[in-house]
Amino acid sequence: MSTAIKWFWFASPQTFFPLAGRVAVVCAIGAALLGAAGLYVGFFVAPTDAQQGDAYRIIFIHVAAAWMSMFLYVVMAFWAAIGLAFNTRLSAMMASAIAPTGAMFTFVALWTGALWGRPAWGAYWVWDARLTSELILLFLYLGFMALQAAIDDQRRADRAGALLAIVGVVNVPIIYYSVQWWNTLHQGASVSLTRAPSMATAMLWGMLLMALAFWLYSIAAALARVRCIIRERE
Amino acid sequence: MIAAIRCVLRRDLLLALRRPSDVATALLFFVIVASLFPLGVGAEPNQLRAIAPGVIWVSALLSSMLSLARLFAADHADGTLEQMLLGAAPLGAVAAAKVLAHWLVAGLPLVAIAPVIALQYDMPVPLYGTLALSLLLGTPVLSFIGAIGAALTLGLRGGGVLLALLVLPLYVPVLIFGAGSVDMAAAGLSALGQLQLLAALLVVSAAFAPWAIATALRISME
Amino acid sequence: MLFRGLSFTLSDGELLRVTGANGSGKTTLLKILCGLLAPEAGEVRWRGQPIDVLREEYSRQLVYVGHAPAVKDDLTAAENLSIACTLAGVSAALQAVRDALDAYGLPRNEVPVRRLSQGQRRRAALARLLLSASVPLWLLDEPFTALDTAAASFTGELIAQHVARGGAAVFTTHQDAPISSAVARVIELA
């Protein structure tokens, strides 16, 4: 019973505000530490790849960013759905707070993918399945942010964005699957950044560390942003 | 509920009949966009034949989206949309009726005109059937998904472009399976898988989109 | 924040008039009563139950005539009226529709509403009331605007008769209402 009360206590933006601040600071520090560790492992510890040389090292940032971008979209849609169903203001604010971070990671994934593509395949952009899906995901994030920005009434902006996020999250697997199929139809299995069959264990560790670092960073950034939103609105 | 659906369907079709220019411009847009591509990429026959399914699909997609912007706008402006929200029939049913009317007026004619464009691109005649079928299955899905976007962007400034940004990413699977089915047929393989996927998308969107459209309309009208 | 602390009950046979200056929230109040807008705090109940639970059941029990005449310009008045009735779940035979439009003095020729004057458009919208005798609650937003004296007093009579029959009506106006045969409670929004 007491846990239930505690839960709803923090559902109020006013009481959530200080908690968010403390958690954000802790996560930011954690993110910095793990990020440094991940970068060290990825850039220095992991061995040079036989085929791709040192240029492939960027993959650990690319894959971690791609994971985060998809994960954050689901989390954003989750908070949006809660906000829509239970009419809670804080959930809607969380969804709006997560969006820019998610969009940023999508952009990072695309950018690092291009940086990897150039030395590996000779072109900055290959219409690889994952890169194309990331591009569409970026449009979904930008659409969410644009819709919220275009609506003056706060309540309508929250709820419209929420519905869009829900429709988006349902479509993401369909989009992913269709782009996968499209890729095999037009290019065969030759060009693919998703294939990294034998990755050194050290590199996998690097990826994991970066993913955790990104996750903590996302929490810190989203909480910091939600504090700004709370201050703005209340 | 059936009476309301029939009523709304008849009403929208009657309105479209009394303003045929609205319908005609959207179809003309389809033809113009499709005609632009050869001017842009050159008229080499093999190249045109290869890009034909994609070009026709993209043009159909853009034309459908253009006409969707107006789906709820007129009703919103003269107050009839409010009355639909207060009506005796579920809003989802009314929305579905409007989408159906929109498809009959803006989607189905595309299926009829597509062979003419295919002729321009010298598409082999056996592919016409697959093209028509893919459009027949895909354009209603475009109408359903686009209607969600139209309902969300109701009355917003920058409406048309914002609608495009919201809706085009969601259109991607339909485009891929639609154009892909014709490409498969062109390669001599069976297009059945893709057409079945389109049919599945149609069933799913017909089942869930009305709820989403009704929710979006209520959100926009508050 | 338009108004706060507003609370009232409307019973059968009661007429409520909401007055106030422009921008005082009369239309907003009416939309909240319809269920089109959600209030920031508080609730609306119909026969004891909250209206957001009742949804369509509640909608069927009311007629709302808002600021906009809610008619399609490209359709005739008769077509508009039968569509409005079908959507509201009210049966409307062709003859009944004709009679309602005649009672309001609308021309018999089948012209699209676009060609009618402002006042005629308003009358075409209000003609719906003649077919809504069985609907308990009438919510009318500024029903007398753009009407000439004859049409205004005719509308006033309709409202009074509805209330006398046991229905309830809420109307907003910022001018004097030409309803002589019924006494209205008044709520003034500051």
Q: Decide if A119 is inside a domain.
A: yes
Of B152, B157, B168, the CB nearest to A163: B152
d(CA B12, CA B15): 5
Q: Decide if A10 is inside a domain.
A: no
ipTM of the complex: 0.90
Q: Residue B222: list chain C partners with CB under 8 A.
A: 36-38
Report yes or no: B121 and B52 within 8 Å, Cβ to Cβ.
yes
pLDDT of residue B62: 93
d(CA B54, CA A186): 12
Of A147, A160, A178, the CB nearest to B172: A178
Q: Is C79 on the interface with B (CB under 8 A)?
A: yes
Q: Is C93 on the interface with B (CB under 8 A)?
A: no
Across the interface, whether the CB atoms of A178 and B170 are under 8 A apart is answered no
Across the interface, whether the CB atoms of B173 and A171 are under 8 A apart is answered yes
Q: How far is A190 from chain B (nearest CA, A)?
A: 19
What is the residue whose two structure tokens read 């308990």? C136
Q: Decide if A3 is inside a domain.
A: no
**Strand C45-46 to strand C49-50: parallel, antiparallel, or no bridges (unpaired)?**
antiparallel
d(CA C172, CA C140): 7
Total number of domains constituting chain A: 1
- How many residues in chain C? 190
- Residue C22, by phi and psi: left (phi above 0), alpha (psi -120 to 50) or beta? beta
The dihedral of CA B41, B107, C76, C70: what is its sign?
negative
The residues, ordered by sequence, that sit 6+ positions from A171 with a Cβ below 8 Å of its Cβ are: B169, B170, B173
Contact residues, B window 3-42, toward C, CB-based 8 Å cutoff: 3-4, 7-8, 11, 14-15, 18-19
Of B14, B74, B79, the CB nearest to C70: B79
- What are the structure tokens assigned to C80, written together? 């508009």
Report yes or no: A108 and A66 within 8 Å, Cβ to Cβ.
no
Report yes or no: C24 and C177 within 8 Å, Cβ to Cβ.
no
- What are the structure tokens assigned to A174, written together? 């369909």
Of B82, B87, B89, the CB nearest to C36: B82
Q: pLDDT (tens digit, 0 to 9) for every residue of chain A, 234 residues total?
A: 455 555 566 677 878 888 888 888 888 888 888 888 888 777 777 776 666 666 677 878 888 899 899 999 999 999 999 999 988 888 999 999 999 999 999 999 999 888 887 777 777 787 878 889 999 999 999 999 999 999 998 989 999 999 999 999 999 999 989 988 888 877 654 445 555 545 667 777 788 888 888 888 888 889 888 888 888 887
Report yes or no: C184 and C16 within 8 Å, Cβ to Cβ.
yes
Q: Which amino acid is at B171?
A: Y
Q: Is C160 on the interface with B (CB under 8 A)?
A: no
Contact residues, B window 66-85, toward C, CB-based 8 Å cutoff: 74, 77-80, 82-85
- What are the structure tokens assigned to B202, written together? 């149609």
Can you list the pairs that C2-9 forms with residues at least 24 positions away whose Cβ atoms lie under 8 Å?
C2/C28, C2/C29, C2/C189, C3/C29, C3/C189, C3/C190, C4/C41, C6/C42, C6/C187, C7/C42, C8/C187
Q: Per-residue pLDDT averaged across B1-14, rounded?
A: 91
- What are the structure tokens assigned to A161, written together? 């964005």
- What are the structure tokens assigned to B208, written together? 């869930």
Helix or strand (DSSP H, E) at C45: strand C45-46
d(CA C93, CA B113): 40
Residue B217: other Cβ atoms inside 10 A: 26
Of C34, C70, C89, the CB nearest to B80: C70
Q: Kindly identify which residue of chain B lies nearest to residue C56, measuring between CA atoms.
A: B88
Residue-wise pLDDT tens digits, B67-116:
898 899 989 988 899 999 998 889 999 999 999 999 999 999 999 999 99
Q: Kindly identify which residue of chain C lies nearest to residue B90, measuring between CA atoms.
A: C56
Q: Decide if A121 is inside a domain.
A: yes
Residue C179: other Cβ atoms inside 10 A: 23
d(CA A25, CA C11): 58
d(CA B111, CA B127): 13
The dihedral of CA A180, A182, A183, A189: what is its sign?
positive
Report yes or no: A163 and B212 within 8 Å, Cβ to Cβ.
yes
Q: Residue B168: list chain A partners with CB under 8 A.
A: 139
Q: Kindly identify which residue of chain B lies nearest to residue A145, measuring between CA atoms.
A: B166
The residues, ordered by sequence, that sit 6+ positions from C99 with a Cβ below 8 Å of its Cβ are: C130
Q: Kindly identify which residue of chain B lies nearest to residue C79, measuring between CA atoms.
A: B11
Interface mutation target, options B142, B172, B215, chain A, most CBs of A under 10 Å: B172
Q: Decide if A208 is inside a domain.
A: yes
Q: Decide if A189 is inside a domain.
A: yes
Q: Is A85 on the interface with B (CB under 8 A)?
A: no
The residues, ordered by sequence, that sit 6+ positions from A222 with a Cβ below 8 Å of its Cβ are: A94, A97, A98, A101
CA nearest neighbour of A232 among A165, A148, A154: A154
**Residue predicted with more confidence, B34 or A25:** B34
Residue-wise pLDDT tens digits, B133-151:
999 999 999 999 999 999 9
d(CA C184, CA C169): 9
Q: pLDDT (tens digit, 0 to 9) for every residue of chain C, 190 residues total?
A: 777 778 888 888 888 888 888 778 888 889 999 888 888 888 888 888 888 888 888 888 899 998 888 889 888 888 899 999 888 888 888 888 888 888 888 887 788 888 888 888 889 899 999 888 888 999 999 888 888 888 888 888 888 899 888 889 998 887 777 776 677 788 887 6
- Residue A139, by phi and psi: left (phi above 0), alpha (psi -120 to 50) or beta? alpha
Q: Decide if A44 is inside a domain.
A: yes
User: Chains touching chain A at 3 or more Cβ pairs under 8 angstroms?
Assistant: B
pLDDT of residue A135: 94
Across the interface, whether the CB atoms of A181 and B157 are under 8 A apart is answered no
> What number of helices (H) and strands (E) belong to chain A?
7, 0
Q: Is A173 on the interface with B (CB under 8 A)?
A: no
d(CA B192, CA A198): 36
Q: Decide if A111 is inside a domain.
A: yes
What is the residue whose two structure tokens read 């139809």? A185
Across the interface, whether the CB atoms of A175 and B220 are under 8 A apart is answered no
Phi, psi for residue C63 in degrees, rounded to 5:
-120, 130
pLDDT of residue A27: 85
Q: Residue C75: list chain B partners with CB under 8 A.
A: 11, 14-15, 18
Report yes or no: C3 and C172 within 8 Å, Cβ to Cβ.
no
pLDDT of residue B143: 96
Q: Kindly identify which residue of chain A lies nearest to residue B213, measuring between CA atoms.
A: A163
Domain that holds residue A49: 16-233
d(CA A74, CA A166): 9
**Strand C168-172 to strand C49-50: parallel, antiparallel, or no bridges (unpaired)?**
unpaired
Interface mutation target, options B148, B170, B202, chain A, most CBs of A under 10 Å: B170
Of C60, C62, C73, the CB nearest to B78: C73
Q: How far is B86 from chain C (nearest CA, A)?
A: 5
Q: Residue B87: list chain C partners with CB under 8 A.
A: 56, 59, 87-89
**Residue predicted with more confidence, B191 or A124:** B191
Of C37, C59, C74, the CB nearest to B86: C59
CA nearest neighbour of A72 among A93, A94, A87: A94
pLDDT of residue B154: 92
What is the residue whose two structure tokens read 């399914």? B53
Beta-bridged to residue C65, according to DSSP, are C140
pTM for this entry:
0.89
**Strand C49-50 to strand C137-141: parallel, antiparallel, or no bridges (unpaired)?**
unpaired
Across the interface, whether the CB atoms of B165 and A143 are under 8 A apart is answered yes
pLDDT of residue A187: 60
Residue C95: other Cβ atoms inside 10 A: 8
Residue-wise pLDDT tens digits, B160-178:
899 999 999 999 999 999 9
B192 half-sphere exposure, CB direction, 13 A CA radius: 1
